[in-house]
C-alpha cells in the first residue's frame, strides 16, 4: 500500500495569490494512498526541504509529490532531498501548479480546482513509479573546443591549465577571431592585440592543447563523456611541420591583388598568405580559388622559392577522429550586411543605406581596421574611396538591430559602446574632425560603461542626435545623411565624408548546420539555446555540450571571457569523476513484441538505437530486434511515439503512468 506525501508550495505569492493552497492540501489529503499532505511558503528553501525529509522519515512515506513550479526549475532539487532521506529519487514527482495554473488563471476558484486536479493526477502517476537505478558511464577526460576566438581560447586555456587535454578547432587559418581585428577595447581603450596575442601564443605552446586551424567539424556521434568527433583538416597546400614561417613565398607570389578579408577588403594580399602578422600558427595557406597554379596549372613560384620545401600542391583534406568527453561551442558572431537581401534569407536588405554600394559607407569592423595600427592604413582614418581624411563622419546605430520590419527584433548589446569608442578614436586621430551619432537610445549596462559613453560626448565632443536616419545618398564626394532629431522635432541633413553603420550582431554562417551535427537547439536567428537561462546558462539541453561567447547571443569581451571560464568550469566538474552518473530516464525495448522494423533508429536524434540478435540455445538466429543503449539515450521518447508495434517504453513515462493520470480526471 502506497504512503504518499504531498507538499504544496506557496512560491511566495506566485501560487498562493491565485490558488488556495491550504484548501488544495486539505483536499488532496483525502485521496486514496495519501498519508501526509501539507503546504509551505517556500518548499525549495532549506526549511522546506527539511520539512520534506522529516516527513519522509516520520510518516514512513513511500512516494512524494511536490506541487510547486516547473520541474525544469527544481525537480533535481527535490529528488536530491528525497534521496538524502532514504527514498529512490525517481519515486518523487512534481506537479506544476505555477506555470500551468496560477500564472494562467485569474479566477481563484477555477485555479484552486485546477490545482487540485493537477496534484491528483500526479498522485495517481507516482503510485505507478518504479525504483530506477542510476546509469553510470565512463568519462573520456579530453575536451573539444570549437572556435578559436577569445571565448574558445579562454575555455581551452582554463581546461588545459587544469591538466586535461584540449582539442581546439578553428575554421580560419589562424586563431584570434574578431578580437584580433579590433584596435582598442572599451571601456579602458587598451590595445586589443596586446591582450589577445599573448593568449594566442599560450594556446600554441601549451602542451595539453592540440590545435587544428583551417579545420571544421565534419561529424559528431556519441554522448556525454564519450563523443567521437570527426574533424576535417582542410588542405593548406603547405606542410606545417616543414614551414619555418619565413614569408619568402608570400613576397615572391605574383598574384597580389586579392582582397584581404581580415582587413575587411580594404587591403590586398597574395594567393599564399597568413591572415595577419601575429597569426597563430604562422603558417601560410594557399587560396586555391585565386592561385594561378590551381587555376591554370602554371606559376608554382612559391614552391620554387621555398627553402624547406614546405609547399605541397598535392596535399588533400584529412579526416581525423578525436575521442572527447565534453564539447565547448564558441563559434562567435558575424555582422549583418546591408547589401541586397540574401537569397532565401528571412532578413531583409537595407535599401536606404545604398545596399552597400557607396564605398565610404562602412560597418564598425571596417572602421576598426582603419583605426588599427596594424591595419591597411597604419592606423590613419582614411576614406576607402580616395584615401582622404574625413572631416565630418556620421555614425548610425541600430542598423539591423531592433528592427522587426527587417527581421531582427533583438538588441545587439555592444553597438552603443563601440560607437562611443569609435567617436573617441576618430577625435584622437582627426583633431579637427566632427563626429555625429544618430541613435534611438543609449544602452550601456556595465561597469564604467555609462561613464565611458558620456565621456565621448562631454570630452570628445561627439554630437549625439536622437532620431532615425531615413535615407543617405552620394552627392559628389559627399554622402548626404537625412534624418530626424526627435528631441527638438526638426529634420536633419548632414553632408558627411564617411558614414559608419553599427550593424547587427548575428551568428556565424553555418551555425544551424553545426548545431544539427552536434544535436543542440537554436533559436530563429540561429543563436544557440541554453538549457535554462537562469539555472543552466552555459549548458545545452544535450548533455556534455556547453556554450561560450557570442554564439549564444550578442556579448561584449568581459561577458564572453566570463562565460568561457564558466563553460570550462562545467567541463572540469564533469571530468572530476572517472564515471558519470546520469538519470535513468531511458527507452527500453520489449523484445517479444519488436518486429525489427527499426523505425526507432531512423528517428532517434541521439543515435542510441542498435541492432541486437536473439538466438536460441543452439545458437541459431531467431530474429534481430532493436536495442537502446542506455548510455546514449537522451530520454526524448521519439522512439516510443514512432514504434508501430508499441514495443518501446520510456522509463518514468510508461503507458501505465500516463493512463493513471488520465483516469484520475
- Residue 518's domain is classified under what CATH number? 3.50.50.60
Residue 240 located in a structural domain: no
End-to-end CA distance of the chain: 22
C-beta separation of 282 from 274 below 8 A: yes
Hunting for cell 555609462 — which residue is that? 450
Per-residue cell: 435: 563626429
All residue ranges of the chain with pLDDT < 70 are 342
Give 110's contacts (C-beta < 8 A, 6+ positions apart): none
**Final residue in a domain of this structure, among 548, 576, 604:** 576
Considering only CA atoms, which of 391, 366, 394 is closest in space to residue 480?
394
Query: Residue 564's pLDDT is what?
Result: 98
Per-residue cell: 568: 570550462
Q: Do 379 and 286 sit in the same domain of this protein?
A: no
Question: CB neighbours (10 Å) of residue 509?
Answer: 11
Q: Do 429 and 466 sit in the same domain of this protein?
A: yes
For 558-582, how does the pLDDT look when each residue is reduced to its tens digit (9 = 90+)?
999 999 999 999 999 999 988 988 8
Where do the DSSP E strands lie in 357-401?
A: 361-363, 392-399
Residue 642 located in a structural domain: yes
Q: Do 292 and 434 sit in the same domain of this protein?
A: no
Q: Do 592 and 646 sit in the same domain of this protein?
A: yes
Per-residue cell: 287: 587560396
| Distance (Å, whole) CA 548 – CA 545 | 10
| Distance (Å, whole) CA 277 – CA 250 | 12
Residue 582 located in a structural domain: no
Residue 128 located in a structural domain: yes
Q: Do 366 and 429 sit in the same domain of this protein?
A: yes
Q: Do 116 and 128 sit in the same domain of this protein?
A: yes
Q: Do 157 and 169 sit in the same domain of this protein?
A: yes
CATH number, domain containing residue 611? 3.30.70.20
**Final residue in a domain of this structure, among 506, 536, 567:** 506
Query: Residue 342's pLDDT is what?
Result: 67
Residue 607 located in a structural domain: yes
Domain span including residue 609: 587-663
Residue 104 located in a structural domain: yes
Q: Do 217 and 151 sit in the same domain of this protein?
A: yes
| Nearest-10 crossing angle of helices 108-127, 21-28 | 40
Residue 242 located in a structural domain: no
Number of domains present in the structure of the chain: 5
CATH number, domain containing residue 24? 3.40.50
Query: Residue 647's pLDDT is what?
Result: 94
Query: Residue 429's pLDDT is what?
Result: 95
C-beta separation of 92 from 66 below 8 A: yes
Q: Do 118 and 182 sit in the same domain of this protein?
A: no
Q: Do 323 and 206 sit in the same domain of this protein?
A: yes
Q: Do 122 and 58 sit in the same domain of this protein?
A: yes
**Final residue in a domain of this structure, among 96, 114, 134:** 134
| Nearest-10 crossing angle of helices 415-429, 364-371 | 30
> What secondary structure letter does DSSP report for 282?
-
Q: Do 524 and 499 sit in the same domain of this protein?
A: no
Residue 539 located in a structural domain: yes
Amino acid at each position: 500500500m502506497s504512503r504518499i506525501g504531498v507538499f504544496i508550495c506557496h512560491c511566495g505569492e506566485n501560487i498562493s495569490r491565485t490558488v488556495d493552497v491550504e484548501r488544495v492540501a486539505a483536499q488532496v489529503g483525502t485521496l486514496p494512498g495519501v498519508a501526509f499532505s501539507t503546504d509551505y511558503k517556500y518548499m525549495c528553501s532549506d526549511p522546506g526541504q527539511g520539512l520534506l525529509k522529516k516527513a519522509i522519515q516520520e510518516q514512513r512515506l513511500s512516494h512524494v509529490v511536490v506541487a510547486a513550479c516547473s520541474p525544469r526549475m527544481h525537480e533535481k532539487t527535490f529528488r536530491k532531498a528525497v534521496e538524502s532521506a532514504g527514498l529512490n529519487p525517481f519515486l518523487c514527482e512534481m506537479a506544476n501548479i505555477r506555470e500551468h495554473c496560477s500564472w494562467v488563471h485569474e479566477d481563484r476558484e477555477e485555479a484552486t480546482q485546477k490545482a487540485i486536479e493537477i496534484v491528483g493526477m500526479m498522485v495517481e502517476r507516482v503510485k505507478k513509479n518504479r525504483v530506477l537505478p542510476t546509469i553510470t558511464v565512463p568519462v573520456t577526460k579530453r575536451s573539444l573546443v570549437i572556435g578559436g576566438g577569445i571565448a574558445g581560447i579562454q575555455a581551452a586555456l582554463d581546461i588545459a591549465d587544469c591538466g586535461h587535454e584540449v582539442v581546439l578547432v578553428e575554421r580560419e587559418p589562424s586563431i584570434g577571431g574578431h578580437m584580433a581585428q579590433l584596435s582598442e577595447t572599451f571601456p579602458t581603450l587598451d590595445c586589443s592585440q596586446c591582450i589577445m596575442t599573448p593568449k594566442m601564443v599560450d594556446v600554441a605552446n601549451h602542451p595539453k592543447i592540440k590545435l587544428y586551424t583551417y579545420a571544421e567539424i565534419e561529424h559528431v556521434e556519441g554522448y556525454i563523456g564519450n563523443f567521437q568527433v570527426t574533424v576535417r583538416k582542410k588542405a593548406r597546400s603547405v606542410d606545417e611541420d616543414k614551414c619555418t614561417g619565413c614569408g619568402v613565398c608570400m613576397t615572391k607570389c605574383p598574384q597580389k591583388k586579392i582582397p584581404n578579408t581580415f582587413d575587411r577588403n580594404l587591403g590586398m594580399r597574395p594567393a599564399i598568405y597568413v591572415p595577419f602578422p601575429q597569426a597563430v600558427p604562422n603558417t601560410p595557406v594557399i587560396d586555391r580559388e585565386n592561385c594561378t597554379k590551381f587555376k591554370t596549372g602554371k606559376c608554382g613560384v612559391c614552391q620554387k622559392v621555398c627553402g624547406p620545401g614546405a609547399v605541397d600542391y598535392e596535399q588533400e583534406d584529412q579526416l581525423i577522429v578525436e575521442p572527447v568527453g565534453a564539447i565547448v561551442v564558441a563559434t562567435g558572431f558575424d555582422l549583418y550586411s546591408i547589401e541586397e537581401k540574401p537569397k532565401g534569407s528571412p532578413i531583409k536588405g537595407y535599401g536606404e543605406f545604398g545596399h552597400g554600394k557607396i564605398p565610404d559607407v562602412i560597418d564598425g569592423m571596417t572602421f576598426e581596421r582603419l583605426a588599427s595600427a596594424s591595419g591597411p592604413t597604419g592606423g590613419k582614418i582614411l576614406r576607402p574611396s580616395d584615401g582622404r581624411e574625413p572631416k565630418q563622419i556620421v555614425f548610425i546605430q541600430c542598423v539591423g538591430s531592433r528592427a522587426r520590419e527587417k527581421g531582427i527584433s533583438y538588441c545587439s548589446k555592444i553597438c552603443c559602446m563601440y560607437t562611443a569608442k569609435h567617436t573617441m578614436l576618430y577625435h584622437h586621430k582627426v583633431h579637427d574632425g566632427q563626429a555625429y551619432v544618430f541613435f534611438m537610445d543609449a544602452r550601456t549596462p556595465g561597469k564604467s560603461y555609462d561613464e565611458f559613453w558620456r565621456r565621448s560626448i562631454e570630452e570628445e565632443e561627439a554630437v549625439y542626435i536622437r532620431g532615425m536616419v531615413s535615407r543617405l545618398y552620394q552627392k559628389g564626394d559627399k554622402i548626404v545623411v537625412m534624418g530626424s532629431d526627435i528631441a527638438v522635432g526638426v529634420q536633419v541633413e548632414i553632408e558627411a565624408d564617411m558614414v559608419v553603420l553599427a550593424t547587427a550582431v548575428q551568428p556565424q554562417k553555418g551555425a544551424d548546420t553545426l548545431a544539427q551535427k552536434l544535436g543542440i537547439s537554436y533559436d530563429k536567428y540561429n543563436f544557440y539555446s541554453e538549457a535554462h537561462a537562469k539555472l543552466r546558462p552555459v549548458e545545452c539541453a544535450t548533455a556534455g555540450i556547453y556554450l561560450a561567447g557570442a554564439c549564444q547571443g550578442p556579448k561584449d569581451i568581459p561577458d564572453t571571457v566570463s562565460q568561457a571560464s564558466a563553460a570550462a568550469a562545467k567541463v572540469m566538474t564533469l571530468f572530476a569523476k572517472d564515471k558519470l552518473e546520469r538519470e535513468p530516464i531511458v527507452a527500453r525495448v520489449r523484445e517479444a513484441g519488436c518486429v525489427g522494423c527499426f523505425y526507432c533508429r531512423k528517428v532517434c536524434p541521439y543515435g542510441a538505437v542498435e541492432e541486437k540478435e536473439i538466438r536460441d540455445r543452439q545458437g541459431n538466429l531467431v530474429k534481430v530486434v532493436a536495442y537502446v543503449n542506455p548510455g546514449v539515450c537522451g530520454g526524448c521518447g521519439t522512439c516510443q511515439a514512432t514504434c508501430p508495434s508499441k514495443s518501446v517504453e520510456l522509463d518514468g513515462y510508461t503507458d501505465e503512468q500516463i493512463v493513471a493520470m488520465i483516469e484520475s480526471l
